[in-house]
Structure 1
Amino acid sequence: MRVLWLLVLAGAMLVGLAAEGLAAPAAKSATPAAPPAAAQTAASPAATPAAPPQYLVPRVPKQLTLCGAAVPLELPLVAEQLDRELVISVHDPARVIMWLKRAGRYFPYISQRLKEAGLPQDLKYLAVAESSLIHYIRSVAGAVGPWQFMAATGRRYGLRVDHWFDDRRSLPKSTQAALAYLKDLQKEFGSWPLAMAAYNCGEKRVRQELKEQAVKDYFNLALPNETQRYVYRILAVKIILSDPKRFGFDMPPDSLWRPLPSEKASLELKRPLHLTVLAQAAGTTFRGLKELNPELRERHLPRGKHQIMVPPGQAAGLAARLGKAGPGPRPAGEVYVVQRGDNLSGIALRHGISLKDLRQANRLSRDRLLQPGERLIIPEK
């Protein structure tokens, strides 16, 4: 019995060893087995080890100017903050490539406007830092467009921001407003870096911080983190876009986006006009028209006088072509933004509709009070 028990135990041990890959080797066969893969690798010549990844380490230049004034790179905090923004930007290559592509389309226009206004060319880099030159971009705070205007500031500088139009998206209109705003800020603070900081966080905040900290320049001023980084981000954009090959961005000229050719057309509409009808009369598509006029928010143009960008050669005779075309799909109704002091009776009277129709279109009860900023549908007559 004891012998049987030992045989069973020995068999169990052999099974366990085989499961762990530790069983004794089998008897040699007449044909030698191929060596294990590991043995083959060990016997072969040593493979070349993979090269470690190579990282470009951008260097802060020894000298740098912003809008013609020297940047105090001898101050450690200044050099270090610029170093940080330069590294972050260079190591986001897709973003830099898109900066370069869009700059090919928009920089010629911005540079020309800067030249005409007698302002520093470095201001164009502010638009890149603000929006990456994207028309439709909107910040969490509500700033919109290539120059990232808040609605109130945009209106203060002549931009139309309402249900139908958002001129903050228009490069020509927002550029004109941005240059006027920056010029006013520089006049107040006497420094382009401070003007840029105020553009980012507001004049009031910069005034308060200058007074409280008893300093007179941006580079010695402590500001909220976003604004503290802001001018350094603009400097990083300038360094990279001024010499992209230095950072590995060798962009063939034909890879850059070209300016979209267009010309201005004047229109006077007596009723809303669908953009598809306008696009067809202008020899383009709905999408093409929106690309030339990113400020258009709706699918219709409202009644009134308008200036619209159209493809070259299409402005002449446009009104005549529109006169022969139908209005296209009708809008559900014009939208009116309630202003302070408005009442339903006055709004109905100004738009030539009945008070009853206005209430029904907006499902308003007789005792409903209007709030400034509220939007009302103005039904078609």
Structure 2
Amino acid sequence: MPLERKCRLGVLVLVVIMMLGFYGAGGWGEIDSKPAATAWLVPYFELPARAELCGEVVPLGSADVRERFDREFTIVTQSHAQVYLWLKRMERYFPWIEKQLASRGLPDDLKYVTVAESDLMASAVSHSGAAGPWQFMANTASCYGMAQSTAIDERYDFEKSATAAFRYLKDLHDLFQNWALAVAAYNCGESRIQTEIVKQRTNSYYSLKLPLETERYVFRILAIKEVLNNPEKYGYHLPKGAGYQPVILEKVKIQLPGPMPIAAAAESAGVTYRELKMLNPCFVSDVIPKGELTVRVPEGRAKRFEKGVETWKSTFKPTLLVHKVSRGETLDSIALKYNSTRQQICGWNKIAGNKIKVGQTLKIYR
């Protein structure tokens, strides 16, 4: 660019800047120095004056209790996307949960435990190893009758895990005679709550110093209850029909001579691999384990599925595997690994008693 044109351009820019400065100083009329009114403000909601958990009144007269509740209440009311997802999912799961709680004489408020635990997601897994919609640890799940192996984990089964959770919560309430303590113990374990009650000489959840997650846990459930019970009060309006509806399905009991590939089972039911896994989240590998069990299929597919399973069984041939015993292994641990039983392994290998040796080879049929 010629020097002359550069100079002209520079002068023009300088003039524009001076004009803008003059305008901003009020040279061409009054300029309101106040910020323009914001078109949208983040709403503020007052903490409820009263709160109850399972019919037990929360002592909101305590400044500490109010502040702890306010923290969770503020977080939940402002978690817009998450609240809408809860509202959608609860249409699918809450009717069944409410019916089950009522039939057992348990408080309806316990349905909010699974929201706090997993956001009503069957596939939820925590960093600590808790799994499923009710977030059971492996040992607790075993105590309450949920099967776990390399092929199946019933913690992910919504109905079975819910039934176990109801039993566990009732047992905790029988132990502590208080729902706030029972729910807190569901989070951190009954032993920890018992230890802290003795050490701190108080049996009030709201007065105990507990792990931070447990201190927040009951208040989070209270906040979830408040918002999901009164969504429109807090600015949430879910259009009619926007919620997720219950999946209509059929349960089919089958007896398998060996592990059946999920892909083959899906073909038998006329669904995709993904669909069958979504209907049966307890199947955690690529096969349905051998033995007698129940499989969920879409409504109207039961007969087709049964026929497909029978066809598959007629062509099934067991696969022979060889397992070399390592130090620390037992017949039970080996059986669990291969989704078999101690008795079967003993029969295949003609073992009398339960003794095996390190380095010993075992035949395993799958």
TM-score with structure 1 setting the length: 0.78
1:160 matched to 2:147: yes
Counterpart AA for 2:65: V
2:331 corresponds, among 336, 339, 342, to 342
1:83 corresponds, among 66, 70, 92, to 70
The offset of 1:352, in angstroms, is 3.1
Question: Within 5 Å, which residues of 2 pair with 1:145-156?
Answer: 145-156=132-143
Q: In 1, are the aligned partners of 2:118 and 2:134 still within 8 Å (CA)? A: yes
SS of 1:263's equivalent? strand
Q: Distance in 2 between matches of 1:54 and 1:329?
A: 65
2:214 corresponds, among 220, 223, 227, to 227
Q: Distance in 1 between matches of 2:86 and 2:38?
A: 31
Root mean square deviation of aligned Cα = 3.8
Counterpart for residue 131 of structure 1? 118
| Runs of 5+ unmatched residues, structure 2 | 1-6, 336-341, 352-356
Give the number of equivalent residue pairs. Answer: 342
The offset of 1:145, in angstroms, is 0.9
Q: Distance in 2 between matches of 1:246 and 1:327?
A: 60
For residues 202-238 of structure 1, give each alpha carbon's deviation from its aligned partner in whole angstroms, at most 9, with x where no partner exists: 1111001111111122112221111011100000000
Q: Quick one: higher RCO (CA 8 Å, sep 6+), 1 or 2?
A: 2
1:56 matched to 2:58: no
Question: Within 5 Å, which residues of 2 pair with 1:143-222?
Answer: 143-222=130-209
1:270 matched to 2:273: no
Counterpart AA for 1:262: L
SS of 2:217's equivalent? helix
Q: Distance in 2 between matches of 1:23 and 1:60?
A: 55
Q: In 1, are the aligned partners of 2:50 and 2:58 still within 8 Å (CA)? A: yes
Q: In 2, are the aligned partners of 1:302 and 1:334 still within 8 Å (CA)? A: no
Q: Percent identity?
A: 35
The offset of 1:19, in angstroms, is 12
Q: In 2, are the aligned partners of 1:289 and 1:310 still within 8 Å (CA)? A: yes
Counterpart AA for 1:285: T
Counterpart for residue 241 of structure 1? 228
The offset of 1:200, in angstroms, is 0.5
The offset of 1:299, in angstroms, is 1.5
Distance 1:22 1:232, change over 3 A: same
Larger radius of gyration: 1
Counterpart for residue 306 of structure 2? 319
Q: Distance in 2 between matches of 1:221 and 1:317?
A: 57
Counterpart for residue 338 of structure 2? none
For residues 107-146 of structure 1, give each alpha carbon's deviation from its aligned partner in whole angstroms, at most 9, with x where no partner exists: 1121111111111110010111111111111111110011
Q: In 2, are the aligned partners of 1:267 and 1:305 still within 8 Å (CA)? A: yes
Distance 1:156 1:72, change over 3 A: same
SS of 2:331's equivalent? coil
Q: Distance in 2 between matches of 1:210 and 1:23?
A: 75
Counterpart for residue 142 of structure 1? 129
1:105 matched to 2:92: yes
Counterpart for residue 352 of structure 1? 348
Distance 1:23 1:262, change over 3 A: closer
Counterpart AA for 1:352: W
Distance 1:287 1:44, change over 3 A: farther
Counterpart AA for 2:91: G
Distance 1:287 1:40, change over 3 A: same
Q: In 1, are the aligned partners of 2:184 and 2:217 still within 8 Å (CA)? A: yes
TM-score with structure 2 setting the length: 0.81
Q: Distance in 2 between matches of 1:44 and 1:354?
A: 103
Counterpart AA for 1:310: V
Distance 1:246 1:331, change over 3 A: farther
The offset of 1:78, in angstroms, is 1.2
Q: In 2, are the aligned partners of 1:277 and 1:326 still within 8 Å (CA)? A: no
